[in-house]
């Protein structure tokens, strides 16, 4: 056996009151065991393109418990490593009735955490959070549950397949001519596997993901910038020599590295690919490569054959995580951010009867109003509202500056807005205290709220980036295009293209800030508390940043006023 048999993991993924799912990538084919209090749960690895993976399902745990675990590979302990500076990895199960606590964010590049890396990309807020949690865990002891989130939710761009670091480019050069298409971008599964290794191998982040459950959804850079922005964009990609390999490898690797752990044991049991893994009883390791690639090709060409979205109900709160990329309908006459099947699914998930309804979507549902109007105008322009020649200009503009959020899919925006208002007005069961969209993508953070005098508060909370800040000139551009005269001017231009007025108005509770940060959300007695924290380097110690609060807000129930604890 290799001296370091683990490539990645263990990653603690789906956890409920009595079960936990733990994912690993190993150097070789092996039998994996998770050991908790003398009991052992095991799984064999399966192979994809010569890489080896396993997901171990642990069951029979006590609700509300916090227990350490160890991971064994072929009977030998592989985690925690004997020289680990971090506390023992824990499985913390959900407790009946305990209010939800989660962390969320998006957009994280994978590069070194030294002075050079931080100078170019800023401090990794996830790593600063991990170091803070490790220090708290060491101080308070292994059985402590205080302050630990039930989940960390990654809202897209966990990896950048189209904007690679020097380390990734070195790997690409080692296996092909980087001057040939797709150049510095990813080409195949082997390159995706290396990219995930770069993203998840840092010691502090690796420890955090071994002890805090995680859920994930993709965004465009997991595949390529502007993924499925329009039918014209898709046709341009399909005309290249490399796109088919990219999309198949991207979706194949996403199923392995991200999606598989999103599923509950019951949901995995219904997954056609997991059924092959679970039922494999022959000698040797199951090779899932061909089946996975056939599945990925089918999922790309016919999105209604597979669902990437998922729902979690935790402590009186419903979290609905929406695929806003792969499930798009791009034909102009049916253009929609969610195809008919996906919209029907989302419609069914958005119900009352919960204290809070959270909608995780990588793309903000409520952009700053200036940007919203510009995107809605651009969609109308690109689809021919002012004629063929302006449509071509609109398409170029759409792709050049990423005008492809919910606002640029007006049919979908209005449909979901109507559903959300119905929930907030009590038309789908008792109205929650809040209906809150959690998003990322835009590389700035903010909070907006729909202007309503009754019913649930409808809020948009954005946390982006975790580690990938905008250049300074783009920050100024974003601020100008989002606020001030941009809103009325944008509204006027949108009306000129016959875009209907939005179904409601919204305004900012917190204006944009551009720090690398990770947000935390907690269902408290005062309301829904959200805070954003960033990493700060003291005395040149780049490897040990401290965590600093950037902004905070409590979304109180309708009868009280929101409280702010920040000057932003």
Share of the chain above pLDDT 90, in %: 89
Segment 313-348, tens digit of pLDDT: 999 999 999 999 999 999 999 999 999 999 999 999
Which of 566, 560, 564 lies closest to 548 in space, CA to CA? 566
Question: How high is the mean pLDDT of the chain?
Answer: 94
- Would you state the pLDDT for residue 146? 66
User: Which residues, including other chains, have CB under 8 Å from residue 2's CB and lie 6 or more apart?
Assistant: 27, 28
- Would you state the pLDDT for residue 144? 58
Q: Read out DSSP for 154-203?
A: EES-SS-SSS--HHHHHHHHTTS-TTSTTTTS--SHHHHHHHHHHHH-SH
Judged against a pLDDT cut of 50, whether residue 211 lies above it is answered with: yes
- Would you state the pLDDT for residue 1? 47
Judged against a pLDDT cut of 80, whether residue 560 lies above it is answered with: no
Judged against a pLDDT cut of 60, whether residue 402 lies above it is answered with: yes
Judged against a pLDDT cut of 70, whether residue 568 lies above it is answered with: no
Segment 434-492, tens digit of pLDDT: 999 999 999 999 999 999 999 999 999 999 999 999 988 888 888 877 777 778 888 89
Judged against a pLDDT cut of 60, whether residue 122 lies above it is answered with: yes
Dist. CA 331–CA 339, nearest whole Å: 10
Distances (CA, A) of 49 to 184, 257, 313: 21, 13, 35
Judged against a pLDDT cut of 70, whether residue 524 lies above it is answered with: yes
Band (143; pLDDT cuts 50, 70, 90):
low
Six token digits for residue 368: 């700053």
Judged against a pLDDT cut of 60, whether residue 139 lies above it is answered with: no
- Would you state the pLDDT for residue 142? 55
Length of the chain: 568
Band (141; pLDDT cuts 50, 70, 90):
low
Q: Answer whether 88's CB lies under 8 Å from 9's CB.
A: no
- Would you state the pLDDT for residue 103? 98
- Judged by average pLDDT, the poorest of 145-154, 515-524, 553-562 is 553-562
Dist. CA 202–CA 204, nearest whole Å: 6
Which of 158, 417, 139 lies closest to 262 in space, CA to CA? 158
Segment 162-195, tens digit of pLDDT: 999 999 999 999 999 999 999 999 999 999 999 9
Six token digits for residue 424: 């907030």
Determine the average pLDDT of the residues in 34-52.
97
Judged against a pLDDT cut of 50, whether residue 564 lies above it is answered with: no
Segment 290-321, tens digit of pLDDT: 999 999 999 999 999 999 999 999 999 999 99
Q: Answer whether 79's CB lies under 8 Å from 413's CB.
A: no
- Would you state the pLDDT for residue 565? 47
pTM: 0.96
Judged against a pLDDT cut of 70, whether residue 263 lies above it is answered with: yes
Dist. CA 28–CA 37, nearest whole Å: 27
Dist. CA 490–CA 376, nearest whole Å: 9
Distances (CA, A) of 253 to 48, 216, 290, 301, 386: 9, 13, 13, 17, 41
Q: Answer whether 409's CB lies under 8 Å from 342's CB.
A: no
Segment 224-250, tens digit of pLDDT: 999 999 999 999 999 999 999 999 999
């Amino acid at each position: 056996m290799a001296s370091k048999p683990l490539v990645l993991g263990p990653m603690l993924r789906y956890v409920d009151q009595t079960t936990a799912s733990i994912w690993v990538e190993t150097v070789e084919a092996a039998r994996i065991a998770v050991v908790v209090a003398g009991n052992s749960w095991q799984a064999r690895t399966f192979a994809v393109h010569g890489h080896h993976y396993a997901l171990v399902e642990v069951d029979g745990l006590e609700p509300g418990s916090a227990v350490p675990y160890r991971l064994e590979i072929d009977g030998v302990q592989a985690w925690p490593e004997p020289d680990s500076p971090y506390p023992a990895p824990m499985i913390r199960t959900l407790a009946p009735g305990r209010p939800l606590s989660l962390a969320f964010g998006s957009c994280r590049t994978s590069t070194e955490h030294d002075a050079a890396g931080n100078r170019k990309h800023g401090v990794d807020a996830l790593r600063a959070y991990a170091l803070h949690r490790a220090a708290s865990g060491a101080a308070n002891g292994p059985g402590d549950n205080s302050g630990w989130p039930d989940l960390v939710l990654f809202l897209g761009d966990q990896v950048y397949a189209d904007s690679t670091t020097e380390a990734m480019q070195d790997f690409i050069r080692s296996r092909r001519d980087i001057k040939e298409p797709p150049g510095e971008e990813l080409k195949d599964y082997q390159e995706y596997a290396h990219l995930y290794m770069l993203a998840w191998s840092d010691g502090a982040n690796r420890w955090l993901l071994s002890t805090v459950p995680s859920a994930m959804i993709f965004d465009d850079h997991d595949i390529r910038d502007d993924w499925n922005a329009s039918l014209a964009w898709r046709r341009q990609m399909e005309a290249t020599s490399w796109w088919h390999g990219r999309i198949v490898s991207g979706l194949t690797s996403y199923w392995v590295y991200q999606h598989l752990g999103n599923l509950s044991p019951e949901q995995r049991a219904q997954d056609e690919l997991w059924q092959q893994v679970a039922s494999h009883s022959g000698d040797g390791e199951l090779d899932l490569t061909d089946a996975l690639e056939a599945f990925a090709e089918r999922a790309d060409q016919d999105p209604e054959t597979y669902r990437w979205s998922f729902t979690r109900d935790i402590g009186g709160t419903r979290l609905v995580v929406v695929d806003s990329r792969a499930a798009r309908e791009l034909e102009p006459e049916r253009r929609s951010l969610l195809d008919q099947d996906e919209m029907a699914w989302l419609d069914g998930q958005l119900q009352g009867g919960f204290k809070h309804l959270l909608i995780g979507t990588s793309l903000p549902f409520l952009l700053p109003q200036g940007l919203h109007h510009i995107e809605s105008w651009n969609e109308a322009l690109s689809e021919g509202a002012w004629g063929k020649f302006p449509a071509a200009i609109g398409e170029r503009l759409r792709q050049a500056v990423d005008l492809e959020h919910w606002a640029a899919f007006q049919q979908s925006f209005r449909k979901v807005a109507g559903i959300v208002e119905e929930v907030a007005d009590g038309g789908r069961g008792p109205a929650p205290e809040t209906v809150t969209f959690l998003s990322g993508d835009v590389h700035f953070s903010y909070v907006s709220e729909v202007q309503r005098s009754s019913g649930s508060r409808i809020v948009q909370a954005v946390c982006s980036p975790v580690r990938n800040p905008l250049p300074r000139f783009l920050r100024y551009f974003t601020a100008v295009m989002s606020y001030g005269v941009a809103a009325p001017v944008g509204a006027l231009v949108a009306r000129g293209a016959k875009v209907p007025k939005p179904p409601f108005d919204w305004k900012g509770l917190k204006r944009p800030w551009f720090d690398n940060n990770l947000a935390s959300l907690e269902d408290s007695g005062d309301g829904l508390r959200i805070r954003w924290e960033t990493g700060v380097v003291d005395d040149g110690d780049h490897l040990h940043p401290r965590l600093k609060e950037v902004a905070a807000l409590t979304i109180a129930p309708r009868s009280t006023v929101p409280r702010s604890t920040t000057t932003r």
